[in-house]
Amino acid sequence: MRRCEFFRVLGGIVAGFRPRRLVMVAIAVFALLPIEASDAGWLPDLFKTSSKQAKSPKRAKSARQSTRPAKSAKHRAPAKHHATRLAALGPVALPPSVLKPAAGKCDPATFRIVLDVGHTAESEGAISARNVAEFAFNLRLARLIAERLKADGFAETRLLLTEGKARPSLFKRVASANNLRADLLLSIHHDSVPNKMLEDWEFEGKKSHFSDRFSGYSVFVSRENPDFETSLRFAELTAKEMKAQGLHYAVQYSLPIMGSNQHPLLNKDTGVYRYDELIVLRKTAMPAVLLEAGSIINRDEELQMDSPEHRNIIAGGVASAVQEFCDPRWSLLGPL
């Protein structure tokens, strides 16, 4: 994984700018830069055809003063669960970045989160152990998350479906998210492994591939996003919610065995990784996070990811993370 000195310098230059101006500066600079492919590998094999790809970012909007979201029945259910978890974890279990005072509450009625469906119908991403395309998993989960968020009062939630070949689609989705003036972008993906780790088996009479070696979700942020700090805050919340749902994170990205796919583990408790090169995270003008919901190349986990119950758990966790992001008090007090 390469580090770009230019962006570090840029970060220093724009550090003193207010968020909106910083975003504008970032957009202008990115527009002038040559397109740079990540050499990071298959995860965001945004750059490869046979495995998986990079995910997108999200953006958190600064301080929009507003009222709390309307509390629906769907809202209350996860909240109760959340309060129980908090009691079990104790306040010290929350990372400092999660508790950091936000710029202010946002208004769920106007806060726009874009759910980026990873990959396209033409370039479907990873292929599961049972030969189902990742795109189908991504679309199903993203739709469910969108439903949950809208039910929780986030009426401006948008599902971002992109067409075309893998790499061009990355820039298309970035442009779409920027045009939508999204406050936050969450790119939804499902995980696989580098091709060298694949093993052969036969499923329904067809030669197939699997790897049961690794499993779990993972959350990625890019230091090159124009609002890395806010991106990290949402990533921390998302990963915390995944863990609170009893899920475990994918440890392999912290291991040397992954080679160029090894990434810095920013939170070893919840599984937040840094992946600077991901185009959807670094080119978007808003805070952005990429969620690998789970592995579909792992035979047991693929079955889990295919179950409505498991999808509900993940969607509920993401919805809770957005609630907490929008109003940090929610994570401490539960819905009022």
Tell me which stretch binds Zn ion (CB under 5 A): 187-195, 215-223, 246-254, 322-330: 187-195
Smallest gap from Cβ 52 to Zn ion, in A, equals 4
Of residues 38 and 53, the one with the C-beta less far from Zn ion: 53
Of residues 125 and 216, the one with the C-beta less far from Zn ion: 125
Could you please report the per-residue DSSP string of 269-335? TTTEEE-TT-HHHHS-SS-EEEEEEEESSSHHHHHHHTSHHHHHHHHHHHHHHHHHHH-THHHHH--
Of residues 47 and 325, the one with the C-beta less far from Zn ion: 47
Smallest gap from Cβ 43 to Zn ion, in A, equals 7
What residues contact 58, with CB distance under 8 A and at least 6 apart? 113, 114, 182, 184, 185, 186, 187, 231, 234, 284, 286, 287, 288, 289
Could you please report the per-residue DSSP string of 38-57? --S-STTGGG-SSS------
Number of Cα atoms under 13 Å in the Cβ half of residue 109: 7
Residues listed for the chain: 336
Instruction: Return the CA Rg of the chain.
Output: 19
Give the footprint of Zn ion on residues 45-64 (CB under 5 A): 52-53
118 is a contact residue toward Zn ion (CB under 5 A): yes
| Torsion angle of the four alpha carbons 21, 267, 79, 77, in this order, in degrees rounded to the nearest 10 | 110
Tell me which stretch binds Zn ion (CB under 5 A): 26-34, 185-193, 257-265, 280-288: 185-193
Smallest gap from Cβ 110 to Zn ion, in A, equals 30
169 is a contact residue toward Zn ion (CB under 5 A): no
Of 210, 183, 186, which is closest to residue 118 (Cα–Cα)? 186
Smallest gap from Cβ 178 to Zn ion, in A, equals 21
Among residues 189, 243, 274, 282, the one that binds Zn ion under rule CB under 5 A: 189
| Torsion angle of the four alpha carbons 137, 141, 146, 151, in this order, in degrees rounded to the nearest 10 | 150
223 is a contact residue toward Zn ion (CB under 5 A): no
Of residues 23 and 193, the one with the C-beta less far from Zn ion: 193
283 is a contact residue toward Zn ion (CB under 5 A): no
Number of Cβ atoms within 10 Å of the Cβ of 62: 17
Smallest gap from Cβ 201 to Zn ion, in A, equals 22
Give the footprint of Zn ion on residues 75-114 (CB under 5 A): none
> What separation in angstroms does the CA of 21 have from each of 6, 77, 87, 184, 287?
19, 39, 40, 17, 14
125 is a contact residue toward Zn ion (CB under 5 A): yes
Tell me which stretch binds Zn ion (CB under 5 A): 56-64, 71-79, 183-191, 259-267: 183-191
Smallest gap from Cβ 46 to Zn ion, in A, equals 8
State the number of binding residues for Zn ion (CB under 5 A): 5
Smallest gap from Cβ 277 to Zn ion, in A, equals 14
Tell me which stretch binds Zn ion (CB under 5 A): 107-115, 118-126, 250-258, 264-272: 118-126
Give the residues lining the site for Zn ion (CB under 5 A).
Answer: 52-53, 118, 125, 189
